[in-house]
Amino acid sequence: MPAAGNRIEITSRETSMKRLVATIAATVFAAGVASAAPLTLKFQSSDPTGTQVYEIQKKWTDGIEAASNGRFKIDLLPLDSVLKASDMLNGVRNNVIHGAIATTAHYAGEDPGLGLVGDPISAFATDEDIYKFYYLGGGMKVVDEILSDWGVKLLAVSMTGSESFVAKKPIRKIDDFKGVKLRAPAGPVQKLFAGFGAAPVNLPISEVYTALDKGVIDAADASTFASNQKQGFNDIAKFPIYPGFHSAPTIHTIMNAKEWAKLSANDQAFLLAYFKGMALESMLRPHYEDRLAVAEAVKKGIEPITWSTEELAKVRTQAVKIWADIAAQSKIGKKFYDALLAYLKSQGQM
């Protein structure tokens, strides 16, 4: 039996050894954490800096590093910084950029069906219906399958908010569009206005203010009321149509499918859940800021025009014909069209 002094010495050595082992373990763990750099992904937006939509997107992509505890980092680049908006789908497929945040309407040159996917004009009664269709009504699965043919994964949908419409003269009904020179993006929206008898041209959003100011156009399908107000469009075109009656583009967040496949199941689940948060803010913030902007505009002598239920029904009738036309010429369009009709019928909206 060891003497008392030896027992003290043995105990002391055991304690020292435990402390040494703990110190080594902590050092190794800290080194491992320090060396685990975040997975950095390069995404591009179809919106320019300074816009409400880009600000929301940037807030969420910047916040992902902290939310993922350092697992992910996303560098979000603005419109045209690497690729033109129309080239972003192929850019993600070829891994020029890892991901994109843009409406598929920009890719309608690849297939007209993508124009319908990106902006099914006049389809949804409210912005909330877009989310119901995607997250509850099967839209997410259908569009993910469509985009998989381009080698990309659909992570989430968000929105710009229901778009307002700026005009230099009162437009209270469809007939008032006859002969009006207006800016509208290519695709279903341009077809809609052309069907009303207007003369639509496809101008970049950056040229809208000057075109309105110089009389090149009389009106413009631009952005939300608050965004149009911020950019000064309403000060030139004092008869904005609000609420918007024609367009609420769906923004699709996509990622290169091969890069997606490299992620663990936990990481994939995290990304899908995280971007739902961005989706929610992309709906709430425009609604909130639009109301404030309308009150400010009225004080400045601007007259927001709200269309009647009867005229809105006429717009819907025209829009449905455009959906069917696109479905007839595109397998993608037909697949989306069938899913859209099934959802609308299930909600009593068709």
Examine the domain organization and report whether 56 and 106 are in the same domain. Answer: yes
Query: Which of the four pLDDT bands, split at 50, 70 and 90, describes residue 32?
Result: very low
Flag whether 13 is in a domain.
no
Flag whether 12 is in a domain.
no
pLDDT of residue 301: 96
Point out which residues pair with 158 in neighbouring strands. Answer: 251
Looking at 110-221, which runs of residues are DSSP E strands?
152-159, 165-167, 181-183, 199-201, 219-221
Name the residue with tokens 């206005």. Answer: 193
H-assigned helices in 36-72: 52-67
Q: What range does the domain containing 179 cover? A: 165-246+302-315
Examine the domain organization and report whether 256 and 237 are in the same domain. Answer: no
Examine the domain organization and report whether 193 and 284 are in the same domain. Answer: no
Express as a percent the part of the chain with pLDDT over 70: 89
pLDDT of residue 36: 66
Please state whether 70 falls in left (phi above 0), alpha (psi between -120 and 50) or beta: left
pLDDT of residue 6: 47
Examine the domain organization and report whether 194 and 212 are in the same domain. Answer: yes
State CA 9 to chain mean position distance: 68
Examine the domain organization and report whether 273 and 287 are in the same domain. Answer: yes
Q: Residue 8: is its pLDDT beyond 80?
A: no
In this predicted model, what pLDDT tens digit does every residue of 107-142 receive, in sequence order?
999 999 999 999 999 999 888 899 999 999 999 999
Q: Residue 262: is its pLDDT beyond 60?
A: yes
Flag whether 239 is in a domain.
yes
Task: Look at the alpha carbons of 120, 124, 129, 132 in this order and tell me if their dihedral is positive or negative.
Answer: negative
Q: Residue 150: is its pLDDT beyond 60?
A: yes
Examine the domain organization and report whether 130 and 203 are in the same domain. Answer: no
Better pLDDT: 246 or 102: 102
Flag whether 321 is in a domain.
no
Query: Which of the four pLDDT bands, split at 50, 70 and 90, describes residue 223?
Result: confident
Question: Are 152 and 254 spatial neighbours (Cβ–Cβ below 8 Å)?
Answer: yes
In this predicted model, what pLDDT tens digit does every residue of 179-213 receive, in sequence order?
999 998 878 888 999 999 999 998 887 899 999 99
Query: Which of the four pLDDT bands, split at 50, 70 and 90, describes residue 9?
Result: very low
Flag whether 324 is in a domain.
no
Task: Look at the alpha carbons of 31, 32, 34, 35 in this order and tell me if their dihedral is positive or negative.
Answer: positive
Burial of 265 (0-12, 13-18, 19+ CB in 10 A): exposed
Flag whether 30 is in a domain.
no
Quote the CA–CA distance of 232 and 208 in Å, as a whole number. 10
Task: Give the type of residue at 224.
Answer: T
Task: Give the type of residue at 203.
Answer: L
Binning the chain into helix, strand and coil, the percentages to the nearest 5 are 55, 15, 30
pLDDT, averaged across the chain: 89
pLDDT of residue 249: 84
Query: Which of the four pLDDT bands, split at 50, 70 and 90, describes residue 33?
Result: very low
Flag whether 203 is in a domain.
yes
H or E stretch at 340 = helix 331-346
Question: Are 258 and 95 spatial neighbours (Cβ–Cβ below 8 Å)?
Answer: yes
Examine the domain organization and report whether 117 and 47 are in the same domain. Answer: yes
Quote the CA–CA distance of 221 and 247 in Å, as a whole number. 9
In this predicted model, what pLDDT tens digit does every residue of 156-188 receive, in sequence order?
999 887 778 999 999 999 999 999 999 988 788
CATH number for the domain harbouring residue 211: 3.40.190.10
pTM for the whole structure: 0.83
Examine the domain organization and report whether 155 and 171 are in the same domain. Answer: no
Q: Residue 18: is its pLDDT beyond 50?
A: no
Examine the domain organization and report whether 341 and 197 are in the same domain. Answer: no
The conformation of residue 3, written as its DSSP 8-state character, comes to: -
pLDDT of residue 25: 41
pLDDT of residue 206: 80
Examine the domain organization and report whether 154 and 264 are in the same domain. Answer: yes
Examine the domain organization and report whether 230 and 287 are in the same domain. Answer: no
Question: Are 157 and 101 spatial neighbours (Cβ–Cβ below 8 Å)?
Answer: no
CATH number for the domain harbouring residue 280: 3.40.190.170
Number of domains in the chain: 2
Examine the domain organization and report whether 132 and 48 are in the same domain. Answer: yes
**What average pLDDT does this structure show over 272-287?**
92
In this predicted model, what pLDDT tens digit does every residue of 36-90 receive, in sequence order?
689 999 999 998 888 888 999 999 999 999 999 999 999 999 999 999 999 999 9
Task: Give the type of residue at 344.
Answer: L
Q: Residue 23: is its pLDDT beyond 60?
A: no
**What average pLDDT does this structure show over 319-328?**
96
Name the residue with tokens 């000057």. Answer: 210
Task: Give the type of residue at 89.
Answer: L
Q: Residue 29: is its pLDDT beyond 60?
A: no
The residues, ordered by sequence, that sit 6+ positions from 18 with a Cβ below 8 Å of its Cβ are: none
The residues, ordered by sequence, that sit 6+ positions from 29 with a Cβ below 8 Å of its Cβ are: none
Flag whether 288 is in a domain.
yes
